[in-house]
Amino acid sequence: MQKIIRRRNIEQLTSFDQTIHPLLQRIYSARGIQSEHELQYQLAQLLKPNFKGLQEAVSLLADAVVAQAKIIIVGDFDADGATSSALGVLALRAMGLPSVDFLVPNRFEYGYGLTPEIVAVAAAQHPDLIITVDNGISSIEGVAAARELGITVIVTDHHLPGSELPDADAIVNPNQPGCEFPSKNLAGVGVIFYVMNALRAELRQMGWFEESGIAEPNMASFLDLVALGTVADVVPLDHNNRILVAQGLLRIRAGAVRPGIKALLEIAGKQSHKIIASDFGFALGPRLNAAGRLDDMSLGIQCLMCDSESLAREMAMQMDELNRDRKAIETGMQQEAMVMLQKVLSADENSLPWGVCLFDESWHQGVIGILASRIKDKYHRPTIVFADAGESENGEAQIKGSARSISGFHIRDALDAIATRYPHLLQKFGGHAMAAGMSLTRENFTAFAAAFDEEVRRQLTDEDLSALVMSDGELQGQDFNLTLAQQLRESGPWGQHFPEPVFDGEFYLLQQKLLGDKHLKMTLSADAEGQQLIDAIAFNVDPKQWPNTQTKKVKLAYKLDVNEYRGNKTVQLMVDYIEAIH
């Protein structure tokens, strides 16, 4: 798929301190930065915790700590859910509550969230209180089941609520109606961090720590978990989230990192003192998520909570092995999906649905989200991939879907519109603007696929289906230097809605070779004489197109990065898009 490179507009160049490189000034302005305050990442800059429901939640939790009640934290089976669960358990234990544990639904047995079935499992441990993290806002039946058993329920979540809220004892979610917390972009781990921080303040005011002889916990010690969960969940990095991530990165680089995260970094070949935000998303997140995708996320949570470096490394190695298995499964599924789509395209190259829905009964339920993301990236259209989910209690064949969207199409709202128009199609759904999950009967798949395509066509235009690469412009010859590359690398944290700088330009292609059958290593020059040689690498290229010995000049969209090999640092372009010119 050919992409369109479009340069970012700068409506007004912000007035920055002149110590900031002019290129960075332009980059920040293009991302809507209006003052240098938005580039300050001290903890004191965090938004005040004016959450709806926070005081009720803190009062219940403080009473539970004083009464030494039993608490179970029910999490989700992704990286955000894992970091949220670990933070909740560790923080409560540090505040003097020993009887606190976690429970994560196995996605293959119980599905997502606080279901009545999970409540039954939790009830066997006789908890006084259940806290949901990174889930619960759509758990109407589960919350009701818990309260019928006399269990207090506190919901902490960040997902968008439906038309009905659960009847919990307290709900803390920046996206619930009536919540005045300014940032709606917190990840689940950010929400529970705020709750635990407020609980510490309440217990301090009550004199709990002094009376109990307990050292008051330093909440900043949990910021490595907050940073990991925030980036891995791909929530928008607004100023508040950038503070949380930046502070977590600072602690990790300084060596203040828990053994589990340190072990995951080492397994991924990353050095703690050089870590950047994208390492959470591309190196740690997939390994942590692999536990929840293929096995049980309890392994990931135990690794994050572990205080033994040797034991943490053993668990990190298990997750690395699971991640390799996940990649192998994904490769097979992707090949099968491409065969399906090629059959459609071979009949008519314009016949590909605007909203893509795919299902195969052999596909792995834990990997469908990644497959949906791959297809979305390749064809640039909203995609939902389904897998078999067994039979319901009344014997109906069930399927579960995982959706990924493109800019301009809010996938969760689209599912809500479909559910309103066709009430019989969807059994349940939930999610964000860019990702969602759902369940339906297998016999409704064809009808749902048609309804989804209809909804996509209703909202989008032909132009929306052309993938855009947003560029910060063209670099000049003097810009290809280590100092600027290092400065760009460290000037984030970059992430969702605060993207890492991307540049575009035309280069002479002097050398090219394929590495590992799918990565194109290149030597480039900005001038015909080859006076300034620049290394570049494009990952996951089409081996049918590259290397191309006929091509002498290419158009690139790229990031300016630093390559370090055996202690030697050089400038390297990380290519996002490559197009042969001649």
Do 204 and 95 touch, CB atoms closer than 8 A?
no
Both 438 and 564 in a single domain?
no
| 433/13: higher pLDDT | 433
Judgement on whether residues 171 and 223 belong to the same structural domain of the protein: yes
Q: How confident is the model at residue 231 (pLDDT cuts 50, 70, 90)?
A: very high
The pLDDT of residue 347 is: 52
Compare 411 and 13 and report the one with higher pLDDT: 411
Residue 212 has a pLDDT of: 94
Question: Average pLDDT of the chain?
Answer: 91
Q: Give the gyration radius of the chain's Cα atoms.
A: 25
- Could you say which of 200, 224, 256 is where a domain stops? 256
Q: Residues near 120 by Cβ (< 8 Å), separated by ≥ 6?
A: 145
Count of domains forming the chain: 3
State whether 502 and 452 are in the same domain. no
Q: Is 417 helix (H, G, I), strand (E, B) or coil?
A: helix
* 49-72 residues labelled b (16+ CB within 10 A) or e (exposed): bebbbbeebbebbbebbeeebbbb
The pLDDT, as a whole number, for residue 407 is: 86
Closest by CA position to 173, among listed 430, 529, 480, 463: 430
Characterize 172-183 residue by residue with b for buried, 16 or more Cβ atoms within 10 angstroms of its Cβ, and e for exposed.
bbbbbeebebee
Instruction: Answer whether residue 222 shows pLDDT above 60.
Output: yes
**One domain, residues 48 and 163:** yes
Residue range 175-198: mean pLDDT, rounded: 97
For residues 125 and 127, what is the distance between their CA atoms, to the nearest angstrom?
Answer: 6
Stretch 422-438: mean pLDDT:
88
- Rounded Cα distance, 493 and 503, in Å: 18
Chosen domain end from 404, 438, 465: 465
What average pLDDT does this structure show over 508-522?
90
**What average pLDDT does range 455-466 have in this prediction?**
92
The yes-or-no verdict on residue 100 having pLDDT over 90 is: yes
C-alpha 433: how far from chain center: 12
Distance CA 430, CA 544 (A): 39
pLDDT-based confidence at residue 566 (cuts at 50, 70, 90): confident
Same domain, 456 and 504: no
Q: Report the CATH number at residue 187.
A: 3.90.1640.30
Residues found in the chain: 582
Confidence of residue 65 (pLDDT cuts 50, 70, 90): very high
> Is 309 part of any domain?
no
Beta bridge pairs of residue 356? 383
Name the token pair of 374.
């791959």
Q: Where residue 246 falls among pLDDT bands split at 50, 70, 90?
A: very high
38-64 pLDDT, tens digit per residue, is: 999 999 999 999 999 999 999 999 999
User: Are 476 and 443 members of one domain?
Assistant: no
Task: Write the pLDDT tens digit of every residue in 187-209.
Answer: 999 999 999 999 999 999 999 99
Same domain for 200 and 94? yes
More confident residue, 4 or 74: 74
Q: Which amino acid is at 161?
A: P
d(CA 86, CA 300): 9
Q: Does the structure show a pLDDT above 60 at 349?
A: no
Threshold 0.85, pTM exceeds: yes
The pLDDT value recorded for residue 214 is 93
- Looking up tokens 């332009």 gives 26
Phi, psi (deg, nearest 5) at residue 132:
-90, 140
pLDDT at 540: 84
Instruction: Give the per-residue pLDDT at 205.
Output: 96
pLDDT the model gives residue 109: 67
| Domain's final residue, options 414, 445, 465 | 465
> Residue 571's pLDDT is what?
93
Domain shared by 452 and 501, yes or no? no
Q: Give Cβ neighbours of residue 489 (< 8 Å, ≥ 6 apart).
A: 276, 561, 562
Asked whether residue 260 carries a pLDDT value surpassing 80, the answer given is yes
Q: Are 537 and 572 in contact (CB under 8 A)?
A: yes
**Is residue 122 included in any domain, yes or no?**
yes
Beta carbons within 10 angstroms of residue 234's beta carbon:
18
5 within domain boundaries: no
Amino acid 1: pLDDT: 57
- The domain in which residue 528 lies consists of 472-580
CB 238 within 8 A of CB 185: yes
Domain CATH number, residue 399:
3.10.310.30
Instruction: Say what the pLDDT of residue 565 is.
Output: 77
Say whether pLDDT at 12 is over 80.
no
